[in-house]
Chains A and B, each alone.
Chain A
Amino acid sequence: MAQESTEIARGLRRRDPDLLDRLIEQYQHRLLRYLVYLTGRRELAEDLFQETWIRVLERGHQFNDKYAFSTWLFTVARNLAIDHMRRKQPASLDGLMDNNEDAAPFDVPATVSPSAFDLTLQREQGEHITAGMQHLPAEYREALVLRFQEGMSLEEISSVVRVPLGTVKSRIYRGLSALEPWLKGAQL
């Protein structure tokens, strides 16, 4: 992992476009998923996705190879999302909470599963959780995505979100607890 980070750092300092192409391919789904959950809007997430990679190109020399590239990438994306929301509304991540009822929420594509029954169950459960996620404060949503979708360690989340470890733990705990009723709704 350390060697990979060193190679990425070297390539980013050179602004190697081939390396960036590879990184975009490699992190496309993870980054987009994070941004979609962070902003709650697919269109905005796609704009920020592009801006994030431009920022990675421009500020690549700031990447410290002691850390995982994904941690730095998510930090860059998060800062851009916050900047965007601050420009639109002078509030922090709470501004991300404002859900536009008309906008397509989370735009969940169909899943591929072995049977139609499984597919329906999974889709319903996904829809309920997606709906639940929309009602969570952005900071809980973010913590849940980083922990359970990106599989980041608590320390990594703490460094991306720039809050103490205890706050990360409480956000995950509260976020997951807040999602529970939505999942129960799916089972009714």
Chain B
Amino acid sequence: MNPKTNPATNDDAHKRARTLITLAGPEALSSDQPSSTAWLTTHLESCASCRAFAENAAETIHGLRAIPIAAGRTLVSTTQTRVRRRALELQRQREHLWLVSISCTAVTLCTLLSAIVLWSGFEWLGTRAQLPSLVWQVGFLIFCVVPALVAGILLLAKDKNNNNDNDRLAHHAGSYQG
């Protein structure tokens, strides 16, 4: 069967031509697919409807490219300022994190060293006082835990006190506004 007279083949050819025109843009075809370009050129020479489609597509694409949307100077400078400010914040956060990690490492090392020294001290004292091992070991535990417990209780108490003060201030402000 002659492909030129087969409607299905013709439909395929139109579809192929329109896809090529749409996807590449008529001017982009030459560099992309030389064989497709040659085929498309031949097809366009013989097909008026695809030629019209190509012209319309080219105009639409040209129209799309011609629409100018520009960023204003204020937008750019505001963005640059915001980005610089955020960069500074992030840098400060990183420095802060670095300080915190160094402090944590130093505290851990000091705690380990102190624990070793204290353990030896308690052992020496226990031996000198002829105490059972369990007693000086419990003493060591209490010595280590009590300061942390006291600090925790004090901090909690301080926090509660602050909250009470805030409530009282809010109540006071409310009475002024009322």
Query: Which residues in A have some Cβ–Cβ distance to B below 8 Å?
Result: 15, 17, 20-21, 24-25, 28-29, 31-33, 36, 46, 49-50, 53-54, 57-58, 106-109, 111, 122, 125-126, 128-130, 144-145, 148-149, 154, 169, 172-173, 176-177, 179-180, 183-184, 186
Contacts and interface: CB of A to CB of B under 8 A. Distances in A.
Given A50-B78, A57-B86, A108-B67, A183 B19 contact: no
A176 B70 contact: no
B75 interface: yes
A144 B82 CA distance: 31
A21 B68 contact: no
30 contacts: A15-B87, A17-B84, A17-B87, A21-B80, A21-B84, A24-B80, A28-B75, A29-B69, A29-B71, A32-B75, A36-B69, A49-B75, A50-B78, A53-B82, A53-B83, A58-B86, A106-B67, A109-B69, A122-B66, A126-B63, A148-B25, A148-B64, A149-B67, A169-B19, A172-B22, A172-B23, A173-B23, A176-B61, A180-B60, A183-B60
A20 B83 contact: yes
B54 to A, nearest CB: 11
Chain B at the A interface: mostly helix, strand, loop or mixed?
Answer: helix
Contacts of A130: 67
Q: Which of the listed residues A17, A49, A144 has the most CB atoms from chain B within 10 Å of its own CB?
A: A17
B13 interface: no
A46 B75 contact: yes
A169 B25 contact: no
A56 to B, nearest CB: 8
Contacts of A122: 66
Contact of B22 (A54, A109, A176): A176
A111 B65 contact: no
Contacts of A54: 82-83, 86
A41 to B, nearest CB: 12
Given A24-B79, A144-B64, 7 more contacts: A108-B67, A126-B63, A149-B67, A154-B23, A179-B60, A180-B57, A183-B59
A32 B90 CA distance: 25
B33 to A, nearest CB: 12
Contacts of A129: 60, 63-64, 67
Contacts of B83: 17, 20-21, 24, 53-54, 57
Interface string B75-112: 11011101110110011000000000000000000000
B18 interface: yes
B9 interface: no
B67 A184 contact: no
